[in-house]
Amino acid sequence: MAEVETPPRRRRLLVFLPLAVFVVLAAIFLMQLFSGRDVSEIPSVLIGQPAPPTNLPPLQGTSLPGVDSATFMGKVTVLNVWASWCVPCRAEHPLLTELAKRDDIRLVGLNYKDDPENARRFLGTLGQPFAAIVADRQGRAAVDLGVYGVPETFVIDGKGIIRFKWIGPLTEESITGALAKEIEKARTPL
């Protein structure tokens, strides 16, 4: 029996199929890129929800307190998730030191999957801005908060409700812009 040959037209279509798939995917990526949407903004299901129940010990070797759920009550809390091995955390640290000078917020640090000695050395070198600092050695509290990576910063209102999440290192623009706006909103009762 003779083998049936694929018509030339069909072969040409098969040759151009990968190109067509590439063009469609490139168009989708370009539409996302030029959509004007802030791609660094990842929605969190926890916005508007109570902060997860927390009871974490203080960072070993510091005189600062740990954190429990009551820590988030009564005053706006800015919770910064950081690690000594995180290069962007080092870059944002001077800004956290300035932010800690505000008397209308409580700055809390959550040290993520870090060696306590390295964390203490980091704070000893760059300064210690936190009112409380906890060690999340296993990363469980970070998972409960929906942390994607470090650094991340949360604004929690005086009723313990998460009002805002910033992914990535804070910048001067983010602190005076988005973060300041969200802190002000968190100070206002719902």
pLDDT digits over 4-40, tens only? 555 677 777 777 778 888 888 888 877 777 766 554 5
pTM of the model: 0.78
Residue 165 clears pLDDT 90, i.e. is over it: yes
Residue 149 clears pLDDT 60, i.e. is over it: yes
DSSP 175: I
Q: Convert 49-78 to b/e letters by CB count within 10 Å (16 or more is b).
A: eebeebebebbeebebebbeeebbeebbbb
